[in-house]
Structure 1
Amino acid sequence: MKYLKSSLFVCFLVTVLASAQNKEITLDAIWNGTFRTQGIQSLHSMNNGKQYAVLNNEKGSTTIDVYDYKTLSKVETLVSSSDMESISNFSNYTFSKDESKIILATAVEPIFRRSTLGVFYVYDIKSKTLVKIADQKIQEPTLSPDGTKVAYGLNNNLYIKDFENNQTTQITFDGEKNKIINGITDWVYEEEFSFVRAFEWNADGTYLAFIRFDETEVPEFSMDMYGTALYPEQSVFKYPKAGEANAIVSLHMYDLKSKKIKDVEVSKAYSDFYIPRIKWTNSPDVLSAQYINRHQNELDLWLINANDMTANLVLEEKDKAYIDVTDNLTFLKDNSFIWTSEKDGYNHIYHYSKEGKLINQVTKGPWEVTTYYGFDEKNNTVFYQSVENGSINRDVYAIKINGKDKKRLTQKEGTNSADFSTDFTYFINTYSSATTAPEYTLHTAKDGKLVKVIKDNSALENTLEAYDLPKKEFSTIAVNGNDLNMWMIKPTDFDATKTYPLFMFQYSGPGSQSVSNTWNGANDYWYYFLAQKGYIVACVDARGTGFKGADFKKVTQNELGKYEVEDQIDAAKQLGSRAYIDAERIGIWGWSYGGFMSSNALFKGNDVFKMAIAVAPVTSWRFYDTIYTERYMTTPQENASGYDDNSPINHVDKLKGDFLLIHGSGDDNVHVQNSFRMIEALIQANKQFEWMIYPDNNHGIYGGNTRLHLYTKMTNFIDRTLGDKIEANN
Structure 2
Amino acid sequence: MRWKLVLIFVFFTIISSFAGDKLLTMQEAILGSYGKLRVRNINQLKWIGNSNELSCVDSLNGLYGLVRIDPLSGDKKMLLTLDSLKSAVKKVSEISIRRFPSVNWINRDTFYLFYHNNLFVYNLRTKSACLKNSVPDKAQNIRIHPKSFNIAYTIDDNLFVSLCSGGKIQITFDGGNGIKNGSVVHRNEFGINKGIFWSPDGNYLAFYRKDERFVTKYPLVDIDSRPAKVRFIRYPMTGMASEHVSVGVYNILSGSTTFLQTGEPADKYLTHVTWSPDSKSVFIAELNRDQNHLRFCVFDPATGERRKILFEERDKEWVEPLYDPIFIKGKNNRFLWFSMRDGFNNLYLYDTNGRLIRQVTHLKTDITGFSGFDPESKKIFFTAAKNNGLEQHCFSASLKSGKITQLTKQNGLHRTDFSGDGKYFIDRFTNHTVPRIISVFDCSGKKQTELLKAENPVKEYKLGKIEYLKIKNKQGITLNARMILPADFDPQKKYPVIVYVYGGPHGQMVRDSWLSGWSLWFQYMAERGYIVFTLDNRGTNNRGSDFEQTVFRNLGKYEVEDQMAGINYLKKCSFVDTLRIGVHGWSYGGFMTISLMTRQPGVFKTAVAGGPVIDWRYYEVMYGERYMDTPQSNPNGYKEANLLNYVDNLKGKLLIINGAVDPTVVWQNSLSYLRKAIDLGKQVDYFVYPGDEHNMFGKDRVHLYQKITDYFTENL
Whether TM exceeds 0.5 here: the answer is yes
User: Is the partner of 2:525 in helix, strand or coil?
Assistant: helix
Which structure would you say has the larger RCO, counting Cα contacts within 8 Å and 6 or more residues apart? 2
Letter in 2 for 1:232: A
User: Is the partner of 2:521 in helix, strand or coil?
Assistant: helix
| Cα distance between partner residues in 1 of 2:235 and 2:543 | 33
Alignment match, 2:142: 141
- 1:232 paired with 2:228, answer yes
| 1:505-654 alignment runs, 5 A limit | 505-654=500-649
Alignment match, 1:304: 299
| Cα distance between partner residues in 2 of 1:184 and 1:62 | 37
Deviations 1:363-403, CA, capped at 9 Å, x for gaps: 11322212222333614111111123442011111111124
Deviations 1:511-570, CA, capped at 9 Å, x for gaps: 321111001123442222222222211111111112222111100001111110122134
Q: CA contact under 8 A between 2:215 and 2:234: conserved in structure 1?
A: yes
Alignment equivalent of 1:203, drawn from 200, 218, 235:
200
The alignment-based identity, stated in percent, is 30
Deviation at 1:505, TM superposition (A): 1.0
> Which segment drifts farther, 229-238 or 290-299?
229-238
Gaps of 5+ in 2: 1-16
Deviations 1:293-318, CA, capped at 9 Å, x for gaps: 11111111111123454321112111
Q: CA contact under 8 A between 2:390 and 2:510: conserved in structure 1?
A: yes
- 1:219 paired with 2:216, answer yes
| Cα distance between partner residues in 2 of 1:647 and 1:92 | 48
Alignment match, 2:465: 471
Q: CA contact under 8 A between 1:576 and 1:586: conserved in structure 2?
A: no
Q: CA contact under 8 A between 2:245 and 2:266: conserved in structure 1?
A: no
Deviation at 1:625, TM superposition (A): 0.9
| Cα distance between partner residues in 2 of 1:368 and 1:21 | 39
Letter in 2 for 1:124: V
Deviation at 1:693, TM superposition (A): 0.7
Letter in 2 for 1:465: K
Deviation at 1:674, TM superposition (A): 1.7
CA distance 1:404–1:276, change in 2 (3 Å): closer
Gaps of 5+ in 1: 1-17, 107-119, 723-730
Letter in 1 for 2:40: Q
CA distance 1:92–1:191, change in 2 (3 Å): farther
Alignment equivalent of 1:706, drawn from 684, 700, 704:
700
Q: CA contact under 8 A between 1:96 and 1:143: conserved in structure 2?
A: no
- 1:47 paired with 2:49, answer yes
| Cα distance between partner residues in 1 of 2:70 and 2:281 | 36
| Cα distance between partner residues in 1 of 2:86 and 2:64 | 5
Alignment equivalent of 1:387, drawn from 367, 385, 388:
385
- 1:659 paired with 2:633, answer no
- 1:179 paired with 2:163, answer no
Letter in 2 for 1:712: Q
Alignment match, 1:28: 27
- 1:38 paired with 2:40, answer yes
Letter in 2 for 1:451: Q
| Cα distance between partner residues in 2 of 1:86 and 1:339 | 44
Deviation at 1:422, TM superposition (A): 1.6
Deviation at 1:147, TM superposition (A): 2.3
CA distance 1:588–1:19, change in 2 (3 Å): closer
Deviation at 1:676, TM superposition (A): 1.6
| Cα distance between partner residues in 2 of 1:286 and 1:526 | 50
| Cα distance between partner residues in 2 of 1:714 and 1:478 | 30
| Cα distance between partner residues in 2 of 1:663 and 1:527 | 21
Alignment match, 1:11: none
Alignment match, 1:192: 189
Alignment match, 2:14: none
Alignment equivalent of 2:242, drawn from 239, 246, 257:
246
CA distance 1:180–1:272, change in 2 (3 Å): closer
Letter in 1 for 2:208: I
Deviation at 1:483, TM superposition (A): 1.5
Q: CA contact under 8 A between 1:67 and 1:75: conserved in structure 2?
A: no
Q: TM-score, with normalisation over the residues of structure 2?
A: 0.90
Alignment match, 1:77: 80
| Cα distance between partner residues in 2 of 1:542 and 1:390 | 12
Deviations 1:159-206, CA, capped at 9 Å, x for gaps: 112222x11111111111x421112124xx243244342121112111
Deviation at 1:414, TM superposition (A): 0.8
| Cα distance between partner residues in 2 of 1:255 and 1:586 | 62
Alignment match, 1:10: none
| Cα distance between partner residues in 2 of 1:154 and 1:67 | 40
User: Is the partner of 1:128 in helix, strand or coil?
Assistant: strand
CA distance 1:280–1:220, change in 2 (3 Å): same
| 1:255-270 alignment runs, 5 A limit | 255-266=251-262, 269-270=264-265
Alignment equivalent of 1:345, drawn from 319, 327, 343:
343
Between Structure 1 and Structure 2, how many residues are aligned? Answer: 679
Deviation at 1:64, TM superposition (A): 5.5
CA distance 1:57–1:654, change in 2 (3 Å): farther
User: Is the partner of 2:678 in helix, strand or coil?
Assistant: helix
User: Is the partner of 2:391 in helix, strand or coil?
Assistant: coil
Alignment match, 1:689: 684
| Cα distance between partner residues in 1 of 2:700 and 2:650 | 28
Alignment equivalent of 2:95, drawn from 78, 86, 103:
86
Alignment match, 1:162: 163
Alignment match, 2:284: 289
Alignment match, 1:374: 372
| Cα distance between partner residues in 1 of 2:72 and 2:223 | 54
| Cα distance between partner residues in 1 of 2:235 and 2:553 | 22
Deviation at 1:467, TM superposition (A): 2.3
Letter in 2 for 1:225: D
Alignment match, 1:104: 114
Deviation at 1:78, TM superposition (A): 8.5
| Cα distance between partner residues in 1 of 2:155 and 2:405 | 47
Deviation at 1:105, TM superposition (A): 4.0
**What RMSD over aligned residues (CA atoms) do the two structures have, in Å?**
2.5
| Cα distance between partner residues in 1 of 2:709 and 2:696 | 16
Deviation at 1:75, TM superposition (A): 4.9
User: Is the partner of 1:649 in helix, strand or coil?
Assistant: helix
| Cα distance between partner residues in 2 of 1:222 and 1:450 | 56
> Which segment drifts farther, 79-88 or 91-100?
91-100
- 1:456 paired with 2:453, answer yes
Letter in 2 for 1:157: N
User: Is the partner of 1:398 in helix, strand or coil?
Assistant: strand
Letter in 2 for 1:455: L
Alignment match, 1:110: none
Alignment match, 1:726: none
| 1:406-425 alignment runs, 5 A limit | 406-425=404-423
User: Is the partner of 1:718 in helix, strand or coil?
Assistant: helix
| Cα distance between partner residues in 2 of 1:361 and 1:643 | 38
CA distance 1:256–1:413, change in 2 (3 Å): same
